[in-house]
Amino acid sequence: MGIHFYFIMRGFGSKFAWLYVPHVINPLIVLRVAFGLLMAISTIRFMLKGWIREFYVLPRFHFTYLGFGWVRPLPEWGLWLVFGGLLILSLWIMLGFFYRPSMALFFVLFTYIELLDKTYYLNHYYFVSLFSFLLIWLPLNGRFSLDVYWGWAQERHTVPAWMVWLVRVQLGLVYFFAGIAKISGDWLLDAMPLKIWLRARTGTPLIGGLFDFVWVAYVMSWAGMLFDTLVPFGLMWPKTGRWAYGVVVVFHLMTAVLFRIGMFPYVMIACTLVFFDWPWLNLFSQGGRSSHAVIDRRCLRWFCLVFLSVQLVLPMRHHLYGGPVNWTEEGYRFAWRVMLVEKTGSAVFDVYDPQTAIAWRVYPRDYLTMAQEKQMAFQPDMILQFAHYLEGEIGRDVEIRAEVYASLNGRSSRLLLDPEVDLTAVPYDWRPRPWILPLDEVD
């Protein structure tokens, strides 16, 4: 096995030499400016909406990620400092000022905020964390940057092709897996959840009336699946690149108008600019040099292999758990499962004290914010976390069971969890959760 892998790695080296061919740096420069600008706008928007206080200061309890329970919110002034820092770093990234430390610190601060509470998990937040980590290692300050202007970085017109393609492949994976996730009975055969969402948007000017036709939901479902699956290839092929980007812009603007998905459409519109080489930028300056790889080739191979392997495995890991991922949510996050479910739930907790034989009912809204309660009510891992938190709040050895009803994509409500299972006896870990009740007809 080890020897076989060794030969694969040697083959990788010889067959993929084109990855080291110089490639114009312009796509990375455009990406740097667009990414920095979008992050600055996104940070300002977050602060202006009052989300720092609402998401991270007001809640008594936070749903941290497995293995990151130690991540705790700073006091409110500290959080404002973090967001202020993110804003400044975004602008510095845009300007190419102190680029690499700025991007590294941006990654750390942004990821810290995202790790605080999974209630607010969004695919595009994960994307920003992942992307900012990737961009730390690439010389995005090689042109049109203050680093170059002040001589802190060497101007360069080209970089090894892998640097550009690594970014493009990462973006392509987002679309591709988002498309693969849509190949399901719910999405393609029942046009769910678009059928629900579109009929709630019939007030949209000019085209709103269309959403009352059921066939429109089917057309948009199939078009959405085909768009996500195929657009990365369209963007990568020079002959179709411009057309594909036009479709990207139209698609994302339409989702921005129709759905409340914040900055995601704009982030994707901005970042997909990296699929173009922007030759006209060469008119502005001459000279510079080609870049050698910032890390040696062997390290590079391993870095790329590990990074891309993780990106290929994470979105598919739900197959290891079995069961319908949209219902169980085992392997749902970090998998580019975008806009797949209209899911609602209602959860109450029954506490039993074996010492006193007293039973009583606890309502999560007494402990959680409305947003936290809403998200927890249909996500089994968050329900388990809350049960453990509740046991700690009660402060003695009690049994806690959850009565949770949930509905997925228009199905009738049904029990999500086995209401007889004492959740205080269930560990919070990566293992499959047999206490999640099956939802038979989901594929």
Partner 1 sequence: MNRFLIRLNIWLLFGLLVIGVSGCAPSFDRKEMIRDITDGIIVPNHQLFADTADQLQRATAVYVTDPSDAHLQAVQDAWHATNLAWMGCATHRYGPIRESLIINRIDSRPPRVSFIEDRIAADSVIDATFIENIGSSSQGLSAIEYLIFDPLSTADLPHNPRRLAYLDHATVIFAQNAQVLLDQWTADGMNYSQTFIDADLEGGEIQGSMNMLVNQILHDVEDITWDRLGTPLWHPTDGAIDPALLEAPYSQSSLARMEATVQHLHQLYTAGDGVGLDEYLDFLDAEYEGQPLSQVIEAQFVATEEAIQAIDEPLGLAIENDRVPVETLYDELAILITLIKVDMINHLGVTITFNDNDGD
Taking the C-alpha atoms of residue 189 and residue 1, their distance in angstroms, rounded to an integer, is 43
Establish if 339 lies at the interface with partner 1 (CB under 8 A).
Answer: yes
Nearer to partner 1, 200 or 310 (CB): 200
Total residues contacting partner 1 by CB under 8 A comes to 58
Q: Choose which of 123, 141, 311, 424 interacts with partner 1 (CB under 8 A).
A: 123
Q: List C-alpha distances in Å: 429 to 112, 250, 288.
A: 21, 41, 51
Stretch that binds partner 1, among 23-31, 231-239, 259-267, 322-330 (CB under 8 A): 259-267
Nearer to partner 1, 50 or 434 (CB): 50
Establish if 345 lies at the interface with partner 1 (CB under 8 A).
Answer: yes
Count of Cβ atoms closer than 10 Å to residue 298 Cβ: 10
Burial 75-93 (b: 16+ CB within 10 A, else e): eeeebeebbebbbbbbbbb
Establish if 239 lies at the interface with partner 1 (CB under 8 A).
Answer: no
Taking the C-alpha atoms of residue 267 and residue 45, their distance in angstroms, rounded to an integer, is 14
Find the shortest distance in angstroms from Cβ 255 to partner 1. 9
Stretch that binds partner 1, among 95-103, 218-226, 241-249, 370-378 (CB under 8 A): 370-378
Count of Cβ atoms closer than 10 Å to residue 256 Cβ: 16
Establish if 48 lies at the interface with partner 1 (CB under 8 A).
Answer: no
Establish if 246 lies at the interface with partner 1 (CB under 8 A).
Answer: no
Q: List C-alpha distances in Å: 239 to 117, 197, 206, 279.
A: 43, 35, 33, 16
Nearer to partner 1, 212 or 443 (CB): 212
Establish if 238 lies at the interface with partner 1 (CB under 8 A).
Answer: no
Q: Choose which of 292, 354, 359, 432 interacts with partner 1 (CB under 8 A).
A: 359
Token code pair at residue 170? 């990462």
Half-sphere exposure of 78 toward its Cβ, with a 13 Å CA cutoff? 9
- Widest CA span of the chain, in angstroms? 82
Nearer to partner 1, 213 or 243 (CB): 213
Nearer to partner 1, 236 or 348 (CB): 348
Find the shortest distance in angstroms from Cβ 155 to partner 1. 38
- Amino acid letter, 422: D
Looking at the DSSP assignment, which residues form a beta bridge with residue 344? Answer: 407
Taking the C-alpha atoms of residue 101 and residue 107, their distance in angstroms, rounded to an integer, is 10
Q: List C-alpha distances in Å: 203 to 128, 211, 258, 395.
A: 32, 9, 10, 50
Taking the C-alpha atoms of residue 121 and residue 124, their distance in angstroms, rounded to an integer, is 9
Find the shortest distance in angstroms from Cβ 38 to partner 1. 14
Binding mask 193-232 for partner 1 (x = CB under 8 A): x--xx-xxxxx--xxxxxxxx-------------------
Nearer to partner 1, 8 or 359 (CB): 359
Q: List C-alpha distances in Å: 392 to 64, 259, 396, 397.
A: 16, 38, 7, 9
Nearer to partner 1, 395 or 427 (CB): 395
Find the shortest distance in angstroms from Cβ 100 to partner 1. 29
CB-based contacts of 370-376 (< 8 A; 24+ apart in sequence) = 371/54, 371/55, 371/119, 371/120, 372/59, 372/61, 372/63, 372/117, 372/119, 373/347, 375/63, 375/118, 375/119, 376/63, 376/119, 376/345, 376/347
Chain positions 264 to 303 lying near partner 1, rule: CB under 8 A, are 264
Establish if 259 lies at the interface with partner 1 (CB under 8 A).
Answer: yes
Q: Choose which of 239, 412, 420, 427 interacts with partner 1 (CB under 8 A).
A: 412
Q: Choose which of 122, 230, 247, 256 interacts with partner 1 (CB under 8 A).
A: 122
* Site residues, partner 1 (CB under 8 A): 49, 51, 54, 120, 122-124, 193, 196-197, 199-203, 206-213, 259-264, 338-339, 342-346, 348, 351, 353, 358-363, 365-366, 370-371, 374, 405-410, 412-413
